[in-house]
Amino acid sequence: WASLRASTNTFPKGMPPFVTTTASSSITTSDTDDVYDVVVCGGTLGILVATALQTRGHKCAVIERGPLRGRQQEWNVSRKELAELVKLGILTQEDLEPIISIEFNPVRCAFHDAGESVLVNDILNL
């Protein structure tokens, strides 16, 4: 994500233009006919999805309440899901290790007020 934000990745068709439009009223469909292929409602993951779609040649509009920017955060994404981002060309294998910020080993599992608990490994490391 940091490299996407810093524009260090090379996109197949070059970086799409960054355009900011602030609307004080509703935008009608006639204003946007044939302008966008996809409209994404912001958020960190929404921006990632829009970026991925742009790398595949889709024209995207992002609707965001605040400034359009990413942030460092824990996404609670499994390794399998991250591997899909590599397969799609959004991230590289080298990008993955710094992205994985938390390993859940061991994890204590118990029923509330049952008294005894068990330590298990790799329950959340999917």
Residue 15 CA to residue 10 CA, distance in Å, equals: 8
Task: List the alpha helices (DSSP H) in 2-122.
Answer: 2-5, 29-32, 44-55, 79-87, 93-99
117-125 mean pLDDT: 79
Residue 9 pLDDT: 47
Helix (H, G, I), strand (E, B) or coil at 34: coil
Q: What is the largest CA-CA distance in the chain?
A: 63
117's tokens: 């608990």
Residue range 37-84, pLDDT digits in tens:
888 887 777 877 888 788 778 888 888 877 766 566 666 677 777 788
Mean pLDDT value across the chain: 73
Q: Which of 96, 104, 91, 98 is CA-nearest to residue 79?
A: 96
Q: Decide: 11 and 17 in contact? Cβ < 8 Å.
A: no
Of the ranges 13-17, 44-48, 92-96, which one carries the lowest mean pLDDT score? 13-17
Higher pLDDT, 36 or 102: 36
User: Domain boundaries in the chain?
Assistant: 1-73, 75-126
Residue 93 has pLDDT above 80, yes or no: yes
